[in-house]
Amino acid sequence: MRKHLFIYLMLLSIIKIQAQDQSNPNILFIAIDDLKPTLGIYGDSFAVTPNIDAIAKNGTTFLNNHTQQAICGPSRASLLTGKRPDYTKVWDLKTKMRDVNPTILTIPQYFKQSGYKTIGVGKIYDPRCVDNHRDKPSWSIPSIKENELEYPKGYNKPALGFYQNKENLNTINDIKNRALAKNIQKNKIYKYITDRFKPPYEMADVPDGAYVDGAIANRSIQLLDTMNTSKPFFLAVGFKRPHLPFVAPRKYWQLYDESKIKLAAYQKKAKNPVDVSYHKAGEMQKYKTPEITYKLNNDNLLELDKELQKKLIHGYYAATSYIDAQIGKIIDKLKQKDLDKNTIIVIWGDHGYHLGDHSLWNKHSNFEQATRSPLIIYDPRINKGYKINSPTEFVDLFPTLSDLTNIGIPKNLDGVSLKAQITGEVNTLKTYAVSQYPRKNKMGYSFRTKEYRYTVWINKKKSTVPIFKEDIHAEELYDYKNDPLETENKIDNEEYKQIKITHQILATRYFKDQVAASKTAGEKIKNLYKVKNNNTYKRAQVISEFIIKTMRLTNTKGQFLLETLSEKYAYNAAQTKGKNLPKATKREIYKATFIETRNKLSKIFSKIEIAQINKLEKRKMSELNNN
């Protein structure tokens, strides 16, 4: 009898384990704004980050991970779509992702389509690069914005979005009153204040929840408390610090002895510099108080007083520890609700950060301190710690999470799954990570291998078109094994000739692959639409011929117009025909393809020509519909 009972219990145990393995694990997706690897798990002995370190201890820490572009909007658009900036076409802080790529697929959107409940709190996307809903297609319920958060009794929303220190609040209020007395327009008061007063750091004797990030953590905890777990969830939590200003409750400042803070060891341009690689730290200079003055040195770099540098570094570490504490609270709630055993935890900073190295502050470069970014993935089913030294990049995150949750990897992603590294099967998957940064009319592409960085600056071109030797403005080569501070650009050093050639070959192959991928994608779409949507192609021919004749377009422009309109009509038909969609949904689809078509036409047509094309297209379309 006992033997049969034992076998029965064993079978039950096996069935239970199999059921758990087959279920889709939850995802806790934690984004941290402007976080560089100032974490204990990354070897920073000065940092006080016990909660993140504890998660990483039994997870996978990617030590050589890099962002695709070291600035919030482009970095997040790339990470969240698994596509590089030259595909997303988000290279700045004003382009809206779906204006230029209406049908692009995002991580939370894909998880939502795969049966997950997706929820966003705080800064996941950069709000300037998505719609007012923080990318509506991504979320099962409306994304929770900062202005919807609650604060502890006795505290209002932080002034200007940041400040709670009483002295700062009084100063801000005084300036606001001066603005009102001068009849400054209401929508210009914020700028009036911040042009005069915007401290780069603050400590205050307040509870964690009095600042935005504490309020984000509290809202996330509330969500976990009431989470319906009948289907898996994807909870994205976006913290705002340690982005400037470095604000945190006093207790986090007190974790650090400012007298022990070390300034950046190398605060000038590298030997044999490429001037376009550097910047004036314009973001830093927007933070103002009466006692702070900014000046540029002879190299046109920002030169800060040493005491101010110490205070800024102190503030950055304090803000990082503050975020670490908020993450600890969320993990505690996850455990309390018994959700930790089936929840993958992802922690990432959207890019690195300069704290005085090369006399640079903030990000906005292709140097190591700007591109190297934390990425930690904890899977409770593995529950074993690994540290990966080989290059990885943020485009790898989309395929990795898809792979770990067994929902299938979308075919057109630019990254690779890191699952084999997370399970400990392999340590190396790729040779290099690619970052890029635009400067005026040049784009710098940076290739980070295990020990080196090769950067090539290209004039007036992107990677999706052929690049030739004459397009190259400048090159850089850094050796991190022998020169971790990037004190010398080795590109002309004879001892590095073979290393230079090797990296130039890697870059050349990358550029060729990007061009080929771009052409292949375009051809697949055209051929698919021509074969499967013969009626729409015929309509595009009729309308294009009318426009070509009326506007007297060249053969090149005429062919481009035909291809663009055929794609537009075929896509609209594929999305709407026979689906009995509401009129409002159809309008959204048509609007999205209209925007995408306009952007494609702008490659070779002027704004005036595009307006004329739209006018003639409507006229001919109306004529065809009436016949």
Q: What percent of the chain has pLDDT over 90?
A: 80
Cβ atoms of residues 133 and 142 within 8 Å: yes
Length of the chain: 627
Q: 392 by DSSP, 3-state: which?
A: strand
Neighbouring CB atoms inside 10 A of 122's CB total 25
| Segment (H or E) for 568 | helix 555-576
Distance of CA 551 to the CA centre of its chain: 42
Q: Across residues 572-595, what is the average pLDDT?
A: 78
Is the pLDDT at 334 greater than 80, yes or no? yes
Comparing 17-21, 141-145, 452-456, 573-577, the range with the smallest average pLDDT is 17-21
pLDDT interval class at 84 (50, 70, 90): very high
Instruction: Give me the sign of the Cα torsion angle 46, 50, 56, 57.
Output: positive
Q: For residues 83 and 113, what is the distance between their CA atoms, to the nearest angstrom?
A: 19
pLDDT of 19 over the 70 cut: no
pLDDT band at residue 522 using 50, 70 and 90 as cut-offs: low
Confidence at residue 21, expressed as pLDDT on a 0 to 100 scale:
41
Residues 29/236, Cβ–Cβ less than 8 Å:
yes
- Per-residue pLDDT averaged across 41-54, rounded? 98
Look up residue 66 and give its two tokens. Answer: 């890099």
- In DSSP notation, 326-347 reads HHHHHHHHHHHTT-GGGEEEEE
What pTM does this model have?
Answer: 0.83
Query: Does residue 176 contact residue 189 with C-beta atoms inside 8 Å?
Result: yes
Is the pLDDT score of 528 beyond 70?
no
Q: Is the pLDDT of residue 359 over 80?
A: yes
What are residue 203's DSSP bridge partners? 248
CB 363 within 8 A of CB 354: yes
Residue with the larger pLDDT of the pair 194 and 517: 194
- Element containing residue 182 per DSSP (H, E): none
Mean pLDDT computed over 618-622: 89
Interior/surface letters 127-138, b for 16+ CB within 10 angstroms, e for the rest? bebbeeebbebb
Cα distance between residue 252 and residue 47, in whole Å: 11
How confident is the prediction for the chain on average, in pLDDT?
92
Using pLDDT thresholds of 50, 70 and 90, give the confidence band for residue 586. Answer: confident
Contact indicator for 308, 35 with CB cutoff of 8 Å = no
Residue 572, pLDDT above cutoff 60? yes
CA 407 to CA 234: how far, in whole Å? 13
Phi/psi of residue 386, nearest 5 degrees: -135, 150
Residue-wise over 495-521: b if at least 16 C-beta within 10 A, else e? ebeebbeebbebbeebbeebeebbeee
pLDDT value at position 557? 83
- pLDDT attached to residue 533: 55
Give yes or no for a cis peptide into 245 (omega within 30° of 0). Answer: yes
pLDDT in tens, 147-185: 999 999 999 999 999 999 999 999 999 999 999 999 999
Identify the H or E element spanning 101: none
Helix (H) or strand (E) holding 228: none
Query: CB–CB of 452/391 below 8 Å?
Result: no
Give the integer Cα–Cα distance in Å for 381 and 248: 35
pLDDT for 248-287, tens place per residue? 999 999 999 999 999 999 999 999 999 999 999 999 999 9
Contacts of 88 (CB under 8 A, 6+ apart): 74, 77, 78, 81, 97, 100, 101, 104
Asked if the model's pLDDT at residue 531 lies above 60, the reply is: no
Q: Please give the Cα distance from 544 to 538 (Å, whole number).
A: 10
Measure CA of the first residue to CA of the last residue in the chain; give whole Å. 84
Question: Residue 411: which of 110, 140, 137 has the closest Cα?
Answer: 110
C-alpha 617/C-alpha 537 separation (Å) is 14
- What values do phi and psi take at 361, rounded to 5? -130, 155
| Model confidence band, residue 623 (pLDDT cutoffs 50, 70, 90) | confident
pLDDT at site 373: 98
> Residue 45: how many CA atoms within 13 Å on its side-chain side?
2
For residues 45 and 376, give the distance between their C-alpha atoms in angstroms, rounded to a whole number.
18
Assign 1 a pLDDT band (cuts: 50, 70, 90).
very low
Closest CA to 397 of 613, 234, 625: 234
